[in-house]
């Protein structure tokens, strides 16, 4: 028998048969089940482990308040808040190992909050009639949420929806059995980057840091990677961060949907984690490559990375905005911050002679970030490109000095 327990969440007043089927598949595979009811108006045909009253009260509300609101959106938000808080507490107490939530748009709305309340590494599955839909904004997704389309399952069990539900049940139980929670046995370095066609410092830095006794986790700066990075930074998971691709910050302030959120470049600082920062690829804003280019970017140079992803090249004024966004966030850091500023460019495509090279734009960015630099940040201008050996050498020089001074553990 498995020692893994899955929390099965849904509206047990209207979806009892579907939720019971999910639970049955999990039990048939040797797993255990805890049930959580997030319905409002009706009562389930059988008691659940965590009732709708438990859920509402966990969020500081009540079922009566949800009903009396007379508004289904407000009522579900009461339940979403309570479900997230209750699930987080139950997980911290060791009650369950993974969670699966079933729903349409209402249940999916709640499921997104519940999954976001749980730590990175906890198996999180949402079985939804709107999985992968544009209704779901990236900022609502926990970085490791898995979604499965609940095909043909809006009302009642049938052979089509059973196929989806059985796969989902097996997936969450299998994930709970196989999951290795992020508990590194060495101090962990968090690093941001893009692929090595754009930023190459990972190649020398990762083995150099590993040789010093550290584990290195590299996050892809395309929105969701930055969300995962910020989530872990907020938990204090990193001994130090090498935040060398802050392009998601420009995405956010310029309105791209490929955003890591408004808290990008803040959580390591809020936790007091030492930060070595460089604004890699600051000059680009990513957009969805298969969608029409927004009107605001008409006339801007573009770089088509692949069929999924294109980048807009910012002008000098737009780069100054990105510079100010960096310094505004870094000013709030509670720990030490070193800002490396390579004066010959910050992405492979902006090297002298490359297609996106813009001497005036680079100078405008560096001047603005220097002029607005807060007193808690130490700037390190260097006469090289971010992909030159000199950049990696400067990062290691700062890191080694901080280790010697006891600023970085390990």
With beta carbons less than 8 A apart as the criterion, state whether 248 and 264 touch: yes
- DSSP lists the bridge partners of residue 275 as 241, 337
Query: Domains in the chain and their CATH numbers?
Result: 5-178 (3.40.50.12020), 188-404 (3.40.50.12030)
With beta carbons less than 8 A apart as the criterion, state whether 34 and 5 touch: yes
* pLDDT digit string, tens, across residues 214-227: 999 999 998 889 98
pTM: 0.81
> Tokens representing 70?
């007379």
* pLDDT digit string, tens, across residues 41-52: 899 999 999 999
* pLDDT digit string, tens, across residues 115-150: 999 988 899 999 999 998 878 887 788 878 999 999
Question: Torsion-angle region of residue 188: left (phi > 0), alpha (psi -120 to 50) or beta?
Answer: beta
> Tokens representing 7?
């929390």
Strand, helix or coil for residue 124: strand
Mean pLDDT value across residues 78-106: 96
**Buried b / exposed e along 238-261 (16+ C-beta atoms within 10 A):** bbbbbbbbbbbbbbbbbebbbbbb
> Tokens representing 395?
């990062």
With beta carbons less than 8 A apart as the criterion, state whether 316 and 360 touch: yes
- DSSP lists the bridge partners of residue 103 as 128
């Amino acid at each position: 028998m498995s020692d893994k327990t899955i929390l099965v969440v849904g509206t047990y007043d209207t979806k009892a048969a579907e939720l019971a089927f999910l639970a049955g598949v999990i039990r048939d595979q040797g797993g255990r089940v805890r049930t959580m009811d997030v319905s409002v108006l009706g009562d389930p045909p059988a008691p659940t482990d965590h009732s709708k009253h438990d859920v509402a009260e966990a969020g500081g509300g009540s079922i009566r308040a949800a009903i009396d609101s007379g508004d289904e959106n407000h009522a579900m938000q009461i339940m979403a808040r309570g479900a997230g808080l209750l699930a987080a507490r139950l997980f911290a107490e060791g009650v369950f190992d993974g969670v699966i939530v079933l729903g349409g748009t209402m249940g999916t709305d709640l499921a997104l909050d519940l999954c976001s309340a749980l730590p990175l590494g906890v198996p999180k599955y949402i079985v939804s009639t709107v999985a992968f839909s544009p209704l779901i904004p990236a900022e609502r997704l926990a970085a490791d949420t898995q979604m499965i389309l609940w095909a043909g399952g809006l009302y009642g069990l049938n052979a089509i929806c059973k196929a989806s539900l059985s796969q989902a049940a097996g997936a969450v139980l299998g994930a709970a059995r196989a999951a290795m929670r992020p508990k590194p046995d060495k101090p962990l370095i968090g690093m941001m980057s893009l692929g090595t066609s754009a930023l190459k410092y990972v190649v020398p830095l990762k083995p150099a840091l590993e040789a010093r006794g550290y584990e290195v986790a590299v996050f892809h700066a395309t929105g969701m990677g930055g969300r995962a990075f910020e989530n872990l930074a907020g938990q204090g998971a990193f001994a130090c961060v090498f935040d060398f691709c802050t392009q998601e910050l420009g995405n956010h302030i310029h309105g791209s949907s490929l955003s890591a959120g408004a808290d990008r470049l803040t959580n390591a600082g809020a936790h007091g984690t030492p930060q070595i920062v460089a604004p890699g690829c600051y000059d680009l804003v990513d957009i969805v490559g298969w969608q029409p280019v927004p009107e605001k970017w008409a006339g801007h140079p573009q770089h088509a990375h692949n069929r999924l992803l294109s980048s807009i090249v910012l002008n000098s004024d737009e780069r100054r905005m990105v510079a100010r966004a960096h310094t505004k966030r870094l000013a709030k850091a509670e720990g030490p911050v070193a800002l490396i500023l390579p004066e010959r460019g910050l992405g492979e495509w902006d090297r002298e002679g490359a297609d996106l090279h813009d001497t005036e734009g680079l100078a405008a960015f560096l001047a603005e970030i220097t002029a607005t630099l807060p007193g808690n940040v130490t700037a390190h201008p260097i006469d090289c490109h971010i992909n030159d050996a000199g950049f990696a050498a400067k990062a290691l020089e700062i890191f080694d000095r901080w280790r010697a001074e006891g600023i970085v553990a390990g």
